[in-house]
Amino acid sequence: MSRKIVAMPGDGIGKIVLPEAIRVLEAAGFNAEYIHADIGWEFWCKQGNALPERTVELLEEHKIGLFGAITSKPKDAAAEELDPALKDKGYVYFSPIVGLRQHFNLDICIRPCQSFKGNPLNFIRRSADGGYEEPLVNAVVFRQNTEGLYAGVEWTNPPKEVRAALETHPKMKKFANIPSEDLAISTRIVSRPACRRIIRSAFEYAKKFGYKSVTVCEKPNVLRETSGMMLNEARNISKDFPDIELWETNIDAQMMWLTKNPETYGVIVSENMFGDIVSDGFAGLVGGLGFACSANIGDEVAVFEPTHGSAPKYAELNPSIVNPIAMILSACMMLDHIGEEEKAAKIRKAIAAVVEEGKVKTYDMMKLRGSAEAIKQGAATTQQMTDAIISNL
Ligand code: NAI
Ligand code: MG
Protein backbone atom coordinates (compact mmCIF):
# COMPACT_ATOMS: atom_id res chain seq x y z
CA MET A 1 0.00 0.00 0.00
CA SER A 2 1.42 3.38 -0.90
CA ARG A 3 1.75 6.11 1.67
CA LYS A 4 -0.44 9.18 1.59
CA ILE A 5 1.14 12.63 1.81
CA VAL A 6 -0.91 15.78 2.26
CA ALA A 7 0.35 18.27 -0.34
CA MET A 8 -0.32 21.91 0.53
CA PRO A 9 1.15 24.15 -2.19
CA GLY A 10 -0.36 27.35 -0.76
CA ASP A 11 0.30 30.62 -2.57
CA GLY A 12 2.70 32.18 -5.06
CA ILE A 13 5.86 30.17 -5.65
CA GLY A 14 4.61 27.51 -3.21
CA LYS A 15 2.48 26.36 -6.16
CA ILE A 16 5.60 26.19 -8.31
CA VAL A 17 8.14 24.49 -6.06
CA LEU A 18 5.94 21.84 -4.44
CA PRO A 19 5.15 20.02 -7.72
CA GLU A 20 8.89 20.10 -8.50
CA ALA A 21 9.69 18.37 -5.21
CA ILE A 22 7.07 15.73 -5.97
CA ARG A 23 8.69 15.13 -9.36
CA VAL A 24 11.99 14.47 -7.63
CA LEU A 25 10.42 12.18 -5.00
CA GLU A 26 8.82 10.14 -7.76
CA ALA A 27 12.03 9.96 -9.75
CA ALA A 28 13.83 8.74 -6.63
CA GLY A 29 11.42 5.82 -6.46
CA PHE A 30 9.39 7.04 -3.51
CA ASN A 31 5.86 5.79 -4.03
CA ALA A 32 3.16 7.87 -2.47
CA GLU A 33 -0.23 9.27 -3.16
CA TYR A 34 -0.29 13.06 -2.82
CA ILE A 35 -3.56 14.42 -1.53
CA HIS A 36 -4.05 18.06 -2.41
CA ALA A 37 -5.11 20.28 0.47
CA ASP A 38 -6.22 23.91 0.34
CA ILE A 39 -4.33 26.50 2.34
CA GLY A 40 -3.49 30.17 1.98
CA TRP A 41 -4.63 33.60 0.92
CA GLU A 42 -7.26 32.55 -1.61
CA PHE A 43 -9.14 30.65 1.11
CA TRP A 44 -8.99 33.59 3.47
CA CYS A 45 -10.44 35.89 0.80
CA LYS A 46 -13.16 33.52 -0.41
CA GLN A 47 -14.01 31.57 2.74
CA GLY A 48 -12.69 33.63 5.65
CA ASN A 49 -10.23 30.92 6.68
CA ALA A 50 -6.71 30.48 5.32
CA LEU A 51 -6.52 27.07 7.02
CA PRO A 52 -9.77 25.29 6.09
CA GLU A 53 -11.01 22.61 8.49
CA ARG A 54 -10.86 20.00 5.69
CA THR A 55 -7.09 20.56 5.47
CA VAL A 56 -6.69 20.07 9.21
CA GLU A 57 -8.73 16.85 8.92
CA LEU A 58 -6.55 15.53 6.09
CA LEU A 59 -3.45 16.07 8.21
CA GLU A 60 -5.12 14.45 11.19
CA GLU A 61 -5.78 11.42 9.02
CA HIS A 62 -2.50 11.12 7.10
CA LYS A 63 -0.02 12.73 9.56
CA ILE A 64 2.57 13.90 7.02
CA GLY A 65 2.37 17.17 5.13
CA LEU A 66 4.47 18.86 2.47
CA PHE A 67 3.91 22.59 2.43
CA GLY A 68 4.97 25.20 -0.13
CA ALA A 69 4.46 28.73 1.16
CA ILE A 70 1.68 31.14 1.94
CA THR A 71 1.08 34.84 1.52
CA SER A 72 0.35 36.62 4.73
CA LYS A 73 -0.66 40.27 5.25
CA PRO A 74 -1.24 42.52 8.26
CA LYS A 75 -4.66 42.49 9.90
CA ASP A 76 -6.10 45.57 8.16
CA ALA A 77 -4.91 44.63 4.68
CA ALA A 78 -6.35 41.15 5.25
CA ALA A 79 -9.75 42.54 6.27
CA GLU A 80 -9.84 44.67 3.12
CA GLU A 81 -9.37 41.74 0.76
CA LEU A 82 -12.04 39.59 2.35
CA ASP A 83 -15.03 38.73 0.11
CA PRO A 84 -17.63 41.52 0.60
CA ALA A 85 -20.22 38.89 1.58
CA LEU A 86 -18.03 37.90 4.56
CA LYS A 87 -17.07 41.38 5.72
CA ASP A 88 -17.97 42.49 9.26
CA LYS A 89 -18.97 38.93 10.22
CA GLY A 90 -16.21 38.52 12.76
CA TYR A 91 -13.62 36.83 10.51
CA VAL A 92 -10.07 37.53 11.67
CA TYR A 93 -7.01 36.62 9.63
CA PHE A 94 -4.35 34.40 11.18
CA SER A 95 -1.36 32.80 9.51
CA PRO A 96 -2.23 29.23 8.50
CA ILE A 97 1.28 27.90 9.04
CA VAL A 98 1.38 29.31 12.56
CA GLY A 99 -2.12 27.84 12.93
CA LEU A 100 -0.85 24.40 11.88
CA ARG A 101 2.08 24.57 14.29
CA GLN A 102 -0.25 25.44 17.14
CA HIS A 103 -3.11 23.09 16.28
CA PHE A 104 -0.89 20.02 16.00
CA ASN A 105 1.66 21.22 18.55
CA LEU A 106 4.48 21.00 16.00
CA ASP A 107 6.90 22.12 18.65
CA ILE A 108 10.17 20.85 17.17
CA CYS A 109 11.43 22.93 14.28
CA ILE A 110 14.55 21.62 12.54
CA ARG A 111 16.51 23.82 10.15
CA PRO A 112 19.60 22.22 8.64
CA CYS A 113 22.10 24.69 7.16
CA GLN A 114 24.57 22.67 5.14
CA SER A 115 26.74 24.03 2.38
CA PHE A 116 27.03 22.25 -0.94
CA LYS A 117 30.53 22.24 -2.34
CA GLY A 118 30.84 24.63 -5.25
CA ASN A 119 27.77 26.71 -4.44
CA PRO A 120 28.70 30.24 -5.51
CA LEU A 121 26.62 31.52 -2.58
CA ASN A 122 28.76 29.77 0.03
CA PHE A 123 30.39 31.81 2.78
CA ILE A 124 34.08 32.51 2.21
CA ARG A 125 36.60 34.18 4.49
CA ARG A 126 40.03 35.66 4.10
CA SER A 127 42.79 33.42 5.37
CA ALA A 128 45.93 34.55 7.22
CA ASP A 129 48.07 34.30 4.06
CA GLY A 130 45.77 36.68 2.17
CA GLY A 131 44.05 33.96 0.18
CA TYR A 132 40.60 32.75 0.99
CA GLU A 133 38.96 29.74 2.59
CA GLU A 134 35.56 28.25 2.01
CA PRO A 135 34.71 26.28 5.16
CA LEU A 136 31.91 23.76 4.68
CA VAL A 137 29.12 24.57 7.11
CA ASN A 138 27.07 21.75 8.58
CA ALA A 139 24.90 23.22 11.31
CA VAL A 140 21.41 22.09 12.25
CA VAL A 141 19.25 24.46 14.25
CA PHE A 142 16.60 23.08 16.60
CA ARG A 143 14.13 25.86 17.24
CA GLN A 144 11.37 25.59 19.83
CA ASN A 145 8.40 26.29 17.62
CA THR A 146 5.41 27.03 19.83
CA GLU A 147 6.45 29.05 22.88
CA GLY A 148 8.95 31.70 23.91
CA LEU A 149 8.69 35.26 22.70
CA TYR A 150 6.47 34.17 19.78
CA ALA A 151 3.87 32.47 21.97
CA GLY A 152 1.63 35.44 21.34
CA VAL A 153 0.94 36.42 24.96
CA GLU A 154 1.20 40.18 24.57
CA TRP A 155 -0.63 43.44 25.07
CA THR A 156 -0.53 47.10 24.26
CA ASN A 157 -2.46 48.78 27.06
CA PRO A 158 -2.49 45.69 29.30
CA PRO A 159 -5.66 44.98 31.30
CA LYS A 160 -5.63 46.08 34.95
CA GLU A 161 -5.14 42.56 36.34
CA VAL A 162 -2.12 42.04 34.11
CA ARG A 163 -0.61 45.33 35.14
CA ALA A 164 -1.28 44.59 38.81
CA ALA A 165 0.31 41.16 38.52
CA LEU A 166 3.39 42.62 36.83
CA GLU A 167 3.68 45.25 39.54
CA THR A 168 4.35 42.53 42.09
CA HIS A 169 7.81 42.39 40.46
CA PRO A 170 10.30 44.91 41.88
CA LYS A 171 11.71 45.68 38.41
CA MET A 172 8.32 47.11 37.39
CA LYS A 173 8.90 50.11 39.69
CA LYS A 174 10.65 52.04 36.93
CA PHE A 175 7.50 51.87 34.80
CA ALA A 176 5.18 53.00 37.61
CA ASN A 177 4.51 56.40 36.04
CA ILE A 178 3.86 55.18 32.51
CA PRO A 179 0.14 55.08 31.64
CA SER A 180 -1.05 51.62 30.55
CA GLU A 181 -1.92 52.84 27.05
CA ASP A 182 1.75 53.71 26.62
CA LEU A 183 2.91 50.24 27.64
CA ALA A 184 3.47 47.40 25.18
CA ILE A 185 4.29 44.01 26.69
CA SER A 186 5.38 40.79 24.98
CA THR A 187 6.07 37.83 27.22
CA ARG A 188 8.70 35.13 26.81
CA ILE A 189 7.20 31.94 28.15
CA VAL A 190 9.17 28.69 28.39
CA SER A 191 7.52 25.58 29.82
CA ARG A 192 9.74 22.84 31.19
CA PRO A 193 8.13 20.00 29.18
CA ALA A 194 8.55 21.83 25.85
CA CYS A 195 12.05 22.91 26.83
CA ARG A 196 12.98 19.30 27.59
CA ARG A 197 11.44 18.05 24.35
CA ILE A 198 13.39 20.41 22.10
CA ILE A 199 16.67 19.81 23.91
CA ARG A 200 16.28 16.04 23.97
CA SER A 201 15.38 16.01 20.26
CA ALA A 202 18.51 18.04 19.52
CA PHE A 203 20.70 15.55 21.37
CA GLU A 204 19.00 12.55 19.80
CA TYR A 205 19.49 14.04 16.36
CA ALA A 206 23.16 14.74 17.12
CA LYS A 207 23.58 11.13 18.18
CA LYS A 208 21.73 9.70 15.17
CA PHE A 209 23.66 11.75 12.63
CA GLY A 210 27.05 11.73 14.36
CA TYR A 211 27.45 15.37 15.44
CA LYS A 212 30.00 15.87 18.18
CA SER A 213 28.39 18.89 19.85
CA VAL A 214 25.08 20.41 20.82
CA THR A 215 25.17 24.16 21.45
CA VAL A 216 22.49 25.69 23.61
CA CYS A 217 22.25 29.23 22.24
CA GLU A 218 20.45 31.55 24.66
CA LYS A 219 21.19 34.56 26.89
CA PRO A 220 21.01 33.26 30.46
CA ASN A 221 23.11 36.08 31.91
CA VAL A 222 20.25 38.49 31.12
CA LEU A 223 17.18 36.32 30.57
CA ARG A 224 17.88 34.48 33.78
CA GLU A 225 14.56 32.67 34.05
CA THR A 226 13.70 31.53 30.51
CA SER A 227 17.20 31.10 29.13
CA GLY A 228 18.19 29.85 32.56
CA MET A 229 15.68 27.03 32.29
CA MET A 230 16.90 26.13 28.79
CA LEU A 231 20.48 26.00 30.03
CA ASN A 232 19.75 23.97 33.17
CA GLU A 233 17.67 21.44 31.27
CA ALA A 234 20.40 21.19 28.61
CA ARG A 235 22.99 20.47 31.30
CA ASN A 236 20.77 17.76 32.79
CA ILE A 237 19.86 16.11 29.50
CA SER A 238 23.45 16.20 28.25
CA LYS A 239 24.32 13.69 30.99
CA ASP A 240 22.38 11.06 29.01
CA PHE A 241 24.64 11.71 25.99
CA PRO A 242 28.20 11.35 27.29
CA ASP A 243 29.69 11.22 23.77
CA ILE A 244 28.26 14.59 22.76
CA GLU A 245 29.73 17.84 24.09
CA LEU A 246 27.39 20.52 25.36
CA TRP A 247 28.47 24.02 24.33
CA GLU A 248 26.85 27.15 25.70
CA THR A 249 26.71 30.39 23.71
CA ASN A 250 24.86 33.70 23.95
CA ILE A 251 22.74 34.59 20.93
CA ASP A 252 24.56 37.88 20.29
CA ALA A 253 28.04 36.35 20.45
CA GLN A 254 26.80 33.39 18.39
CA MET A 255 25.78 35.74 15.57
CA MET A 256 29.29 37.14 15.55
CA TRP A 257 31.02 33.77 15.70
CA LEU A 258 28.95 32.23 12.95
CA THR A 259 30.61 34.47 10.40
CA LYS A 260 34.02 33.74 11.91
CA ASN A 261 34.08 29.99 12.36
CA PRO A 262 30.72 28.58 11.23
CA GLU A 263 32.20 25.13 10.51
CA THR A 264 32.79 24.62 14.25
CA TYR A 265 29.11 24.25 15.07
CA GLY A 266 26.98 21.12 14.86
CA VAL A 267 23.53 20.96 16.38
CA ILE A 268 22.24 24.21 17.91
CA VAL A 269 19.18 24.46 20.14
CA SER A 270 17.27 27.64 20.99
CA GLU A 271 13.97 29.13 22.01
CA ASN A 272 11.60 30.26 19.27
CA MET A 273 12.89 33.75 18.43
CA PHE A 274 16.56 33.01 19.00
CA GLY A 275 16.16 29.89 16.85
CA ASP A 276 14.54 32.02 14.15
CA ILE A 277 17.46 34.44 14.23
CA VAL A 278 20.31 31.96 14.43
CA SER A 279 18.84 29.74 11.69
CA ASP A 280 18.51 32.68 9.29
CA GLY A 281 22.09 33.61 10.13
CA PHE A 282 23.40 30.17 9.26
CA ALA A 283 21.13 29.88 6.21
CA GLY A 284 22.75 33.01 4.83
CA LEU A 285 26.13 31.26 4.86
CA VAL A 286 24.97 28.30 2.79
CA GLY A 287 22.96 29.86 -0.01
CA GLY A 288 20.04 31.66 1.61
CA LEU A 289 16.36 31.19 0.90
CA GLY A 290 16.84 29.07 -2.22
CA PHE A 291 18.50 26.41 -0.04
CA ALA A 292 16.88 26.77 3.40
CA CYS A 293 14.68 23.81 4.31
CA SER A 294 12.80 23.00 7.50
CA ALA A 295 10.68 20.50 9.37
CA ASN A 296 7.93 21.14 11.93
CA ILE A 297 7.52 18.03 14.02
CA GLY A 298 4.91 17.13 16.62
CA ASP A 299 4.06 13.90 18.40
CA GLU A 300 1.75 12.76 15.62
CA VAL A 301 1.87 15.15 12.71
CA ALA A 302 4.85 16.58 10.85
CA VAL A 303 4.94 19.26 8.16
CA PHE A 304 7.95 19.92 5.92
CA GLU A 305 8.47 23.28 4.22
CA PRO A 306 11.07 25.56 2.73
CA THR A 307 11.87 28.58 4.91
CA HIS A 308 11.04 31.03 2.13
CA GLY A 309 7.67 32.62 1.57
CA SER A 310 5.42 32.93 -1.48
CA ALA A 311 7.69 35.49 -3.26
CA PRO A 312 4.71 37.04 -5.12
CA LYS A 313 7.02 39.04 -7.44
CA TYR A 314 8.15 35.79 -9.05
CA ALA A 315 4.96 33.79 -8.88
CA GLU A 316 3.67 34.86 -12.30
CA LEU A 317 6.92 34.57 -14.26
CA ASN A 318 6.72 32.03 -17.04
CA PRO A 319 9.07 30.22 -17.22
CA SER A 320 9.60 30.27 -13.50
CA ILE A 321 13.00 31.30 -12.15
CA VAL A 322 12.90 30.41 -8.44
CA ASN A 323 15.19 27.82 -6.94
CA PRO A 324 13.34 24.58 -6.09
CA ILE A 325 16.20 23.21 -3.95
CA ALA A 326 14.86 24.49 -0.59
CA MET A 327 11.58 22.68 -1.24
CA ILE A 328 13.32 19.53 -2.48
CA LEU A 329 15.57 19.48 0.61
CA SER A 330 12.44 19.84 2.75
CA ALA A 331 11.05 16.77 1.00
CA CYS A 332 14.30 14.96 1.89
CA MET A 333 13.69 15.82 5.55
CA MET A 334 10.27 14.22 5.16
CA LEU A 335 11.90 11.07 3.78
CA ASP A 336 14.31 10.96 6.76
CA HIS A 337 11.37 11.35 9.12
CA ILE A 338 9.42 8.42 7.69
CA GLY A 339 12.37 6.05 7.52
CA GLU A 340 13.31 6.53 3.87
CA GLU A 341 16.80 7.82 4.68
CA GLU A 342 18.36 6.08 1.69
CA LYS A 343 16.16 7.87 -0.82
CA ALA A 344 16.79 11.15 0.99
CA ALA A 345 20.54 10.60 0.79
CA LYS A 346 20.27 9.75 -2.90
CA ILE A 347 18.42 13.00 -3.64
CA ARG A 348 20.87 15.09 -1.59
CA LYS A 349 23.72 13.48 -3.49
CA ALA A 350 22.09 14.40 -6.79
CA ILE A 351 21.63 18.01 -5.65
CA ALA A 352 25.26 18.10 -4.52
CA ALA A 353 26.39 16.83 -7.92
CA VAL A 354 24.40 19.48 -9.81
CA VAL A 355 25.68 22.27 -7.59
CA GLU A 356 29.28 21.11 -7.74
CA GLU A 357 29.19 20.71 -11.50
CA GLY A 358 27.99 24.31 -11.70
CA LYS A 359 26.41 24.12 -15.15
CA VAL A 360 22.82 24.53 -14.04
CA LYS A 361 22.26 27.49 -11.74
CA THR A 362 19.09 29.37 -10.87
CA TYR A 363 19.22 33.19 -10.84
CA ASP A 364 19.95 33.40 -7.11
CA MET A 365 23.02 31.19 -7.56
CA MET A 366 24.27 33.59 -10.24
CA LYS A 367 23.60 36.62 -8.03
CA LEU A 368 21.32 38.08 -10.69
CA ARG A 369 18.33 40.29 -10.11
CA GLY A 370 15.21 38.14 -10.09
CA SER A 371 13.35 38.80 -13.37
CA ALA A 372 12.51 37.20 -16.70
CA GLU A 373 15.81 38.69 -17.96
CA ALA A 374 17.73 36.26 -15.76
CA ILE A 375 16.95 33.41 -18.14
CA LYS A 376 18.50 35.33 -21.04
CA GLN A 377 21.53 35.92 -18.86
CA GLY A 378 22.03 32.19 -18.53
CA ALA A 379 20.07 31.30 -15.39
CA ALA A 380 18.28 27.96 -15.31
CA THR A 381 14.53 27.86 -14.96
CA THR A 382 12.96 26.17 -11.94
CA GLN A 383 12.09 23.16 -14.10
CA GLN A 384 15.58 22.92 -15.61
CA MET A 385 17.07 22.79 -12.12
CA THR A 386 14.69 20.00 -11.17
CA ASP A 387 15.46 18.15 -14.40
CA ALA A 388 19.19 18.40 -13.70
CA ILE A 389 18.69 16.94 -10.22
CA ILE A 390 16.53 14.14 -11.58
CA SER A 391 19.06 13.25 -14.26
CA ASN A 392 21.70 12.91 -11.53
CA LEU A 393 19.63 10.49 -9.46
P1 NAI B 1 9.93 35.52 0.50
O2 NAI B 1 10.68 34.44 1.15
O3 NAI B 1 8.66 35.14 -0.16
O4 NAI B 1 10.83 36.23 -0.59
C5 NAI B 1 11.92 37.09 -0.28
C6 NAI B 1 12.93 37.08 -1.42
O7 NAI B 1 13.74 35.94 -1.30
C8 NAI B 1 12.31 36.96 -2.80
O9 NAI B 1 11.94 38.21 -3.31
C10 NAI B 1 13.45 36.35 -3.56
O11 NAI B 1 14.39 37.34 -3.87
C12 NAI B 1 14.04 35.41 -2.57
N13 NAI B 1 13.53 34.03 -2.66
C14 NAI B 1 12.55 33.46 -1.91
N15 NAI B 1 12.37 32.18 -2.27
C16 NAI B 1 13.26 31.93 -3.25
C17 NAI B 1 13.56 30.78 -4.03
N18 NAI B 1 12.93 29.60 -3.86
N19 NAI B 1 14.51 30.90 -4.97
C20 NAI B 1 15.17 32.04 -5.17
N21 NAI B 1 14.93 33.15 -4.47
C22 NAI B 1 13.98 33.10 -3.51
O23 NAI B 1 9.65 36.63 1.62
P24 NAI B 1 8.83 38.01 1.54
O25 NAI B 1 8.99 38.65 0.21
O26 NAI B 1 9.21 38.72 2.75
O27 NAI B 1 7.31 37.59 1.72
C28 NAI B 1 6.41 37.29 0.65
C29 NAI B 1 5.18 36.65 1.24
O30 NAI B 1 5.49 35.39 1.80
C31 NAI B 1 4.55 37.49 2.36
O32 NAI B 1 3.16 37.47 2.21
C33 NAI B 1 4.99 36.76 3.62
O34 NAI B 1 4.08 36.95 4.67
C35 NAI B 1 5.03 35.34 3.15
N36 NAI B 1 5.93 34.43 3.91
C37 NAI B 1 5.48 33.16 4.11
C38 NAI B 1 6.28 32.23 4.73
C39 NAI B 1 5.78 30.84 4.81
O40 NAI B 1 4.92 30.45 4.06
N41 NAI B 1 6.30 30.02 5.70
C42 NAI B 1 7.60 32.58 5.23
C43 NAI B 1 8.01 33.93 4.91
C44 NAI B 1 7.18 34.82 4.29
MG1 MG C 1 12.43 33.81 9.82
Q: Which ligand is nearest to the CA of 276?
A: 2
pLDDT of 280 > 90? The answer is yes
Across 294-319, average pLDDT = 97
Does 322 sit in the ligand 1 pocket, CB within 6 Å? Answer: yes
Cα 28 to ligand 1 centroid, rounded to whole Å: 27
Domain-located, residue 116:
no
The number of the ligand 1 atom at minimal distance from the alpha carbon of 314 is 9
The answer to whether residues 143 and 269 belong to one domain is yes
Indicate the pLDDT class of residue 202, thresholds 50, 70 and 90.
Answer: very high
Q: Which domain holds residue 172?
A: 153-186
Q: What percent of the chain has pLDDT over 70?
A: 100
Please name every residue paired with 112 in a beta bridge, in sequence order, or none if there are none.
140
CATH of the domain at 377: 3.40.718.10
pLDDT tens-digit profile of 6-42?
999 999 999 999 999 999 999 999 999 999 999 999 9
Does 250 sit in the ligand 1 pocket, CB within 6 Å? Answer: no
Cα 308 to ligand 1 centroid, rounded to whole Å: 4
Contact in structure between 188 and 226 (CB atoms under 8 Å)? yes
Cα 80 to ligand 1 centroid, rounded to whole Å: 22
Q: Indicate the pairing of strand 138-144 with strand 267-270.
A: parallel
Given this model, what pLDDT does residue 74 score? 86
Distance (Å) of CA 154 to CA 3, 150, 245: 41, 9, 36
Q: Decide which of 285, 301, 326 is a domain's last residue.
A: 285
The answer to whether residues 297 and 384 belong to one domain is yes
pLDDT tens-digit profile of 156-194?
999 999 999 999 999 999 999 999 999 999 999 999 999
Given this model, what pLDDT does residue 349 score? 98
Contact in structure between 383 and 17 (CB atoms under 8 Å)? no
**Counts of helices then strands in the chain (DSSP H, E):** 15, 14
The answer to whether residues 245 and 302 belong to one domain is no
The number of the ligand 1 atom at minimal distance from the alpha carbon of 313 is 9
The answer to whether residues 325 and 358 belong to one domain is yes
The number of the ligand 1 atom at minimal distance from the alpha carbon of 326 is 18
Does 330 sit in the ligand 1 pocket, CB within 6 Å? Answer: no
pLDDT tens-digit profile of 354-393?
999 999 999 999 999 999 999 999 999 999 999 999 999 9
Given this model, what pLDDT does residue 1 score? 61
Cα 278 to ligand 2 centroid, rounded to whole Å: 9
Q: Which ligand is nearest to the CA of 306?
A: 1
Does 308 sit in the ligand 1 pocket, CB within 6 Å? Answer: yes
Domain-located, residue 29:
yes
The answer to whether residues 89 and 141 belong to one domain is no
